[in-house]
Amino acid sequence: ELKPNITMKPGYVLLKTTVTPDTLPIYNMEESVIDSIDKIVASLDVKNLDRDTIKEVKCAVYSKDGKEIRDLSDGLKVNVKLEVAKEVPVYLVTRGKLADDYIETLRVIDPVKVLLTGPADILGNIEEIKTEQVDIDKITSNFTASVQLIVPEGAELYNKPKNITVNINVGIKTEKLTVQIKGRQSDVNAVKKESMKPAVDVSGLKEGIHKLPLSIILPSQVKLMQQHEVEVAITKNMETVTTQEP
């Protein structure tokens, strides 16, 4: 029986634990001693694990009343192989700009994270995995594509296809909106319209016209004086665009 106490380095996951041998011989001619054995325990302590490793672990033989039989424990060892992967986010690479008067209302990629395996020094330098470029130039309707991931040299994807699914929803820009904010004069003057990034959350909505609250990014010391709602039309797009290798 393996009794693990393993903590992983942030961003890493334990994929598999293998114990060899899976059975151990006990050499004792006394039948009463053999009959009293309940289990053999291998206690493994590993901290901050971030790489595949093999540990030699001492074993302890326990009787049915929970006591260690030290004479039988002497010399008993097993090898424990630990296999790990690093979980990294997927970064969608796009080129081009939407058509004039159109804005992006929703972007969904699936999966948003993947597991990578490989040498520890290579995994340690990987913080994300990028996609092939997706061309969104001049699009005026919702866009779906299967996009290939660019796997860093020396690493491998674990149990995942090399492609991800991308969904980008677009909508038509509406009339300008005037917002009122309050705060210290210097803080208010420092707010730029480009940093406010107005947006709405359309996840989970069905087709139709919806009135949604508008979220606006402001510094913590600046407050929005009035909440605004915008009208959004949700439509279904059946067209699928698949990228291919040239």
Reported as a single tens digit per residue, the pLDDT across 150-206 is: 999 999 999 877 899 998 888 777 667 777 788 887 888 888 877 888 888 888 787
Question: How many CB atoms within 10 Å of residue 109?
Answer: 18
Spatial contact of 115 and 89, defined as CB atoms under 8 Å apart: no
Secondary structure E strands in 25-154:
37-49, 53-63, 77-91, 94-95, 102-110, 113-117, 129-130, 134-135, 143-148
Reported as a single tens digit per residue, the pLDDT across 193-208 is: 778 888 888 887 877 7
pLDDT per residue of the chain (246 residues) written in tens, 0 to 9: 899 999 999 999 999 999 999 888 887 657 788 888 999 999 999 999 999 999 999 999 999 999 998 888 888 999 999 999 999 999 999 998 888 878 887 788 889 999 999 999 999 999 999 999 999 898 888 889 999 999 999 999 998 778 999 988 887 776 677 777 888 878 888 888 778 888 888 887 877 778 888 888 888 888 888 787 777 777 654 443 444 444
Model confidence, pTM: 0.65
Looking at residue 244, what is its pLDDT? Answer: 43
Looking at residue 205, what is its pLDDT? Answer: 81
How many whole angstroms separate alpha carbon 29 and alpha carbon 50? 44
Q: For the chain, how far is it from start to end, CA to CA, in angstroms?
A: 53
How many whole angstroms separate alpha carbon 182 and alpha carbon 184? 7
Looking at residue 43, what is its pLDDT? Answer: 93
Looking at residue 246, what is its pLDDT? Answer: 41
Question: How many CB atoms within 10 Å of residue 236?
Answer: 7
Looking at residue 226, what is its pLDDT? Answer: 78
